[in-house]
């Protein structure tokens, strides 16, 4: 096999909650535009999802919805490898092996675990939640990824992955590529419409502040009109006007116009004009994506074919890595 000269990049995405404008603009769009320059593996992490209680039908629906959305956004199953984590059994298997090279102390220090477990009595915290970062390490190391694009909140998990990879390599010889953390430069930080101090987020307390990429035009209008604003009435982006700044950022992202140009066109006009134009601009921006989504969702067979192709491509790589690992740790190969 000719080794690829393109960097291998592994992205993981949770099939929970609806994809919002911030996810789309901040991450998904880049996966689409970068498809020709990177060897992109995109994993829908349903195994991770069950580390908190899930309704089975809901999980299944969310997984399918996310896959359809990624395809609608322009992920090309031939150029990228888009797959569902549970379709590739190597993830769970490598996680087990890596469990035996990760300490209790390391996992106990993970900030995300501490935050998620905090609210519960220790006796009721699920082991899967504790072990979550090891499964994430398996996701990354199986594909020999050079880079892992994540938000700041996931940096610690990728650093743990590096430690585990180095430890394993040190003990058994070069087995894993030690991945780099890639925190994407935020071109535009999209904040919650109800609370411009917080990032737009799936888990926001008020769904009113989050624009889902599948939101109907009516929902988009309603949410934009209900967005909080700052005192004063000038449409300008400035640190003491976080709400208007956020609306202008979104406006700029969905129209491709720069912020000062937009400010200029609202001189002498108020927030209400800005909001109604912004709502329209968002609706226009989302409409091709929504149309594609409906198209793809109307053909479940084709969607399954795409995921099957992804699983096969992923498994080819994952299988090789797992095989090398099994050999190194001393498992007897099965006769073929
Ligand atoms: N933990 C990541 C998150 O919550 C999701 C994830 C799972 C992931 N496996 C991954 C991200 C591998 C990057 C690489 O966002």
What tens digit of pLDDT does each residue of 182-195 get? 987 766 789 999 99
> pLDDT band at residue 320, thresholds of 50, 70 and 90?
very high
Long-range Cβ pairs for the range 111-116 (8 Å, 24+) = 111/153, 111/156, 112/153, 112/154, 112/156, 112/157, 116/52
Residues 6+ apart with CB under 8 A from 332: none
Give the Cβ contact number of residue 335 at 10 Å.
Answer: 4
Best probe residue, ligand 1, of 15, 28, 42, 43 (max atoms within 8 Å of C-beta):
43
Helices (H), the chain: 21-23, 29-33, 46-49, 56-73, 90-99, 104-108, 111-118, 127-142, 155-172, 217-226, 242-255, 259-265, 271-297, 300-329
Closest by Cα among 38, 3, 19 to 184: 38
180-182 vs 7-13, strand pairing mode? unpaired
CA atoms of 320 and 318, how far apart (whole Å): 5
Residues of the chain with CATH 1.10.240.10: 207-294
What is the separation of C-alpha 182 from the centre of its chain, rounded to a whole number of angstroms? 13
Answer whether 45 contacts ligand 1 (Cβ < 6 A).
yes
Kind plus residue range of the DSSP H or E element containing 43 = strand 38-44
Residue from 136, 146, 151 to probe ligand 1 pocket by mutation (most atoms less than 8 Å from CB): 136
State pLDDT tens for residues 52-69: 999 999 999 999 999 999
Q: Look up residue 47 and give its two tokens.
A: 């195994």
Nearest CA to ligand 1 atom 10: 12
pLDDT band at 80 (very low <50, low <70, confident <90, very high): very high
| 273 CA to centre of ligand 1 in angstroms | 39
Residue located nearest, by CA, to atom 12 of ligand 1: 12
Residue with tokens 């569902």: 84
- Give residue 335 CA to ligand 1 midpoint distance, Å: 35
Ligand 1 pocket check: which of 17, 46, 139 to mutate, most ligand atoms within 8 Å of Cβ?
Answer: 139
In the reported structure, the alpha carbon of residue 149 is separated from the centroid of ligand 1 by a whole-number distance in angstroms of 9
Closest CA to 207 of 217, 190, 221, 219: 219
Q: How far is CA 305 from the centre of its chain?
A: 22
Q: Specify the residue for token string 């997984």.
A: 63
Q: How confident is the model at residue 151 (pLDDT cuts 50, 70, 90)?
A: confident
CA of 332 relative to ligand 1 center, distance in Å: 32
Question: 11: CA distance to ligand 1 center in Å?
Answer: 7
Domain(s) labelled CATH 3.40.50.620 in the chain stretch across: 8-187+300-329
Residue pair 99/73 in contact by the 8 Å Cβ criterion: no
2 pLDDT band (50/70/90 cuts)? low
Q: Which three-class secondary structure state does DSSP give residue 11?
A: strand
**CATH value of 207-294 in 1.10.3370.10, 1.10.240.10, 3.90.1010.10, 1.10.1040.10:** 1.10.240.10
Confidence band of 18 (pLDDT split at 50, 70, 90): confident
Look up the CATH architecture of domain 8-187+300-329: 3-Layer(aba) Sandwich (3.40)
At residue 123, the pLDDT reads 87
Q: What is the mean predicted confidence (pLDDT) over 259-280?
A: 95
* Cα angle, residue 309 at apex, residues 306 and 311 outer, rounded to 5°: 110
140 pocket-lining for ligand 1 (C-beta < 6 Å): yes
pLDDT of 64 reads: 97
Across 45-76, b (16+ Cβ under 10 Å) vs e yields bbbbbebeeeeeeeeeebbbbbbbbbbbbbbe
Question: For position 180, what pLDDT does the model report?
Answer: 97
The answer, yes or no, to whether any atom of ligand 1 lies below 6 A from the CB of 27, is no
| Whole-model pTM over 0.85 | yes
pLDDT at site 16 = 82
DSSP letter at 89?
Answer: T
Q: Whose CA is nearest to atom 15 of ligand 1?
A: 13
Question: In angstroms, what is the span from residue 290 Cα to ligand 1's centroid?
Answer: 25
pLDDT per position as a tens digit, 197-234? 998 987 767 789 999 999 999 999 999 999 999 999 99
Q: Is 51 in the pocket of ligand 1 (CB under 6 A)?
A: no
Strand order in the sheet with 38-44: 81-84, 38-44, 7-13, 147-149, 180-182
Average confidence (pLDDT) over 77-100: 98
For atom 13 of ligand 1, the residue with the nearest CA is: 12
What does the alpha-carbon distance between residue 96 and residue 174 come to, in Å, rounded to a whole number?
19
Instruction: Report whether pLDDT(114) > 60.
Output: yes
Phi, psi of 92 (to 5 degrees): -65, -35
Using a 6 Å cutoff on CB, does residue 10 contact ligand 1? yes
Residues acting as catalytic residues: 116, 199, 202
Confidence of residue 27 (pLDDT cuts 50, 70, 90): confident
């Amino acid at each position: 096999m000719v080794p690829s000269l393109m960097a291998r990049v592994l992205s993981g995405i949770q099939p929970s909650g609806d994809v919002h404008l911030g996810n789309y603009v901040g991450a998904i769009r880049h996966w689409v535009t970068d498809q020709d320059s990177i060897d992109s593996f995109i994993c829908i992490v349903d195994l991770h999802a069950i580390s908190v209680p899930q309704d089975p039908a809901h999980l299944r629906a969310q997984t399918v919805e996310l896959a359809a959305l990624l395809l609608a956004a322009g992920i090309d199953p031939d150029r990228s490898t888009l797959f569902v984590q549970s379709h590739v059994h190597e993830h769970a298997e490598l996680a087990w092996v890596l469990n035996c090279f990760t300490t209790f102390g390391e996992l106990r220090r993970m900030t995300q675990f501490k935050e998620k477990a905090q609210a519960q009595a220790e006796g009721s915290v699920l082991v899967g939640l504790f072990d979550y970062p090891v499964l994430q390490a398996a996701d990354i190391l199986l594909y020999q990824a050079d880079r892992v694009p994540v938000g700041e909140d996931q940096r610690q998990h990728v650093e743990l992955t590096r430690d585990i990879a180095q430890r394993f390599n040190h003990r058994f010889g070069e087995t894993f590529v030690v991945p780099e953390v890639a925190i994407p430069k935020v071109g535009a930080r999209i904040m919650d419409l109800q609370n411009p101090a917080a990032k737009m987020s799936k888990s926001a307390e008020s769904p009113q502040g989050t624009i889902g990429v599948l939101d109907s035009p009516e929902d988009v209008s309603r949410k934009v009109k209900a967005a909080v604003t700052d005192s004063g009435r000038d449409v300008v982006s400035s640190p003491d006007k976080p709400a208007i700044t956020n609306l202008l950022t979104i406006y700029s992202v969905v129209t491709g116009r720069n912020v000062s140009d937009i400010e200029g066109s609202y001189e002498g006009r108020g927030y209400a004009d800005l909001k109604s134009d912004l709502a329209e601009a968002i609706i226009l921006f989302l409409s091709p994506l929504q149309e594609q989504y409906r198209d793809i969702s109307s053909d479940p067979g084709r969607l399954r074919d795409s995921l099957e192709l992804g699983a096969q491509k992923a498994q080819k790589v994952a299988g090789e890595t797992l095989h090398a690992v099994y050999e190194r740790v001393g498992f007897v190969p099965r006769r073929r």
